[in-house]
Amino acid sequence: MATRTINVDYIARVEGESSLQLDIRDGVVDRVRLSIFEPPRFFEAMLRGRRFDEVLDIVARICGICPIAYQMSGVAAIENLLGIEVEPPIHALRRLLYCGEWIESHSLHVAMLHAPDFLGYSDAMAMARDHGDAVRRALALKKAGNDLLRLLGGREIHPVNVRVGGFYRVPTRAEFAPVAESLKRARDHAIATLRWVATFPFPDCTRDYEFVALRYRDEYPMNRGRIVSSAGLDIAAADYEDEFLERQVPYSTALRSALRRRGAYLVGAMARYALNYDHLPEEVRALAGSAGLGAVCRNPFQSILVRAVEVIYACSEALRLIADYEPPARPFVAAEPQAGTGCGCTEAPRGILYHRYRTDSDGVIQEANLVPPTAQNQGIIEEDLRQVAMAGLDLDEDQLKANCEQSIRNHDPCISCAAHFLTLRVNRS
């Protein structure tokens, strides 16, 4: 019996630490293990015993890439618990803040982390010598996202300005003027980036995912909506734990999620796009079409196109929100502690992020549950890997490893978030 084991001991160009082991027995991929070895971080335990109004500053520290997402799901859950409905200008500012994070996070992944896979470079440093303009565009896009985060979040990393009931301080219209100029240039860079990635060679691959994303009226989803899926799921955030479960596996420090009835599912840019294509402005749909995308994309290698489309959308949406901005009469509404349970679900760049908190009558957190998108996508990442490995059984070890790493990066996993994750090992027998 011939056994072959392929190990990737450390997966590069993903956020955090993880490894992959493939066991190939008699020409069949027998086992795929994506192991997250980043230490568990116990954020849910850290939150217990803290007041409801301390939560947002704590959860902003969970991830340096998507702190806004943690604040947005956190504030949605706490406000749900307290029965607070924020006014439309506050909601618009939060959506604007999310646009900044989508632009920054997606631009980093598209140009710096994922593009080298398609062009045959080991990393962005090597790619930059031949594709300097593309890298400079990404840096300019990141800067535009940072400008938004700085203005609305108080600073770029671990923002401090969001509070229960609103913001500590809201910007004046005049403060948005330089940011709008930067965003107009960023939108041009985003269109150029989509045209660049549309020229990449994409492996043939079609996957029948169950897509899961938010959906709300006519909005492309960010801060609110019902949780819907391509298989007909349609629930409120409060019912998340009835439909989804988190499981521990012995080889990983991250929990992984599944639909109780159907198993693995996909969240993130491909899911949002497939379930909300009709909510994209016509001009963005036209640009997506010119890059070869239809209303649904089922090739995970083309997720880079979908992210590039979402960057264009986020720039356009941010400009629209700024043009329409009227400062709210008051930056926040007061929040009084009360006992209860609240749930929030928002669209982090990598997909839906679910939070639930339970407080006592003093507003002290008794229980917290945070389910990041990477935990939700681990099942799909392993299923994709099995398919990529089966298709590449005859490849030499280095090429098989490269294909597997690229497959993992299709889903932009944030391992630091999931280890509340890469090394590739292939065993062939």
Partner 1 sequence: MSGGDRYSVLVAAIGNPDRGDDGVGPAIANRLRDRVPTGVRVLECGGDLLELINEWTGSAAAILIDASDPAGDPGRIRRLDLSSSRLPADFAQNSTHAFGLAETVELARALGQLPARLAVYLVEGERFEIGVSLSPRVAEAVGKATEAILAELSRMAAG
Q: Nearer to partner 1 by C-beta: 128 or 269?
A: 128
Query: Quick one: tokens of 346?
Result: 């928002």
What's the closest the beta carbon of residue 308 comes to partner 1, in angstroms? 18
What's the closest the beta carbon of residue 145 comes to partner 1, in angstroms? 10
Helix (H/G/I), strand (E/B), else coil: 350: coil
Rg (CA), the chain: 21
Q: Nearer to partner 1 by C-beta: 158 or 226?
A: 158
Q: Half-sphere exposure (CA, 13 Å, Cβ side) for 159?
A: 29
Q: Nearer to partner 1 by C-beta: 70 or 332?
A: 70
Dihedral pair phi/psi, residue 256, rounded to 5°: -130, 145
Question: Beta strands 424-428 and 365-371: pairing type?
Answer: unpaired
Question: Beta strands 18-25 and 28-36: pairing type?
Answer: antiparallel
Q: Which residues contact 88 (CB under 8 A, 6 or more apart)?
A: none
Q: Nearer to partner 1 by C-beta: 353 or 419?
A: 419
Q: Nearer to partner 1 by C-beta: 88 or 120?
A: 120
Residues that bind partner 1 (CB under 8 A): 13-17, 38, 64, 108, 112-113, 123-126, 128-129, 132, 135-136, 139-140, 142-143, 146-147, 150, 156-158, 416
Helix (H/G/I), strand (E/B), else coil: 306: helix
Residue spans of alpha helices (H) in 325-394:
373-391
Q: Nearer to partner 1 by C-beta: 38 or 79?
A: 38
Q: Nearer to partner 1 by C-beta: 13 or 106?
A: 13
Q: Which amino acid type is present at position 13?
A: R
What's the closest the beta carbon of residue 269 comes to partner 1, in angstroms? 18
What's the closest the beta carbon of residue 407 comes to partner 1, in angstroms? 18
Residue 172 CA to residue 165 CA, distance in Å, equals: 19
What's the closest the beta carbon of residue 227 comes to partner 1, in angstroms? 29
CB 315 within 8 A of CB 187: yes
Q: At what angle do helices 88-107 and 176-197 cross, to 10 degrees?
A: 40
Q: Nearer to partner 1 by C-beta: 135 or 162?
A: 135
What's the closest the beta carbon of residue 182 comes to partner 1, in angstroms? 10
Q: 400: part of which helix (H) or strand (E)?
A: helix 397-409
Q: Nearer to partner 1 by C-beta: 67 or 363?
A: 67
Query: Quick one: tokens of 272?
Result: 């949002």
The DSSP symbol for 337 reads -
Using the CB atoms, write b or e for 236-247: b if 16+ within 10 Å. ebbebeeebeee
What's the closest the beta carbon of residue 353 comes to partner 1, in angstroms? 19
The residue among 103, 197, 93, 177 whose CA lies nearest residue 142 is: 103
What's the closest the beta carbon of residue 43 comes to partner 1, in angstroms? 12
What's the closest the beta carbon of residue 122 comes to partner 1, in angstroms? 12
Residue 333 burial (CB count, 10 A): 16
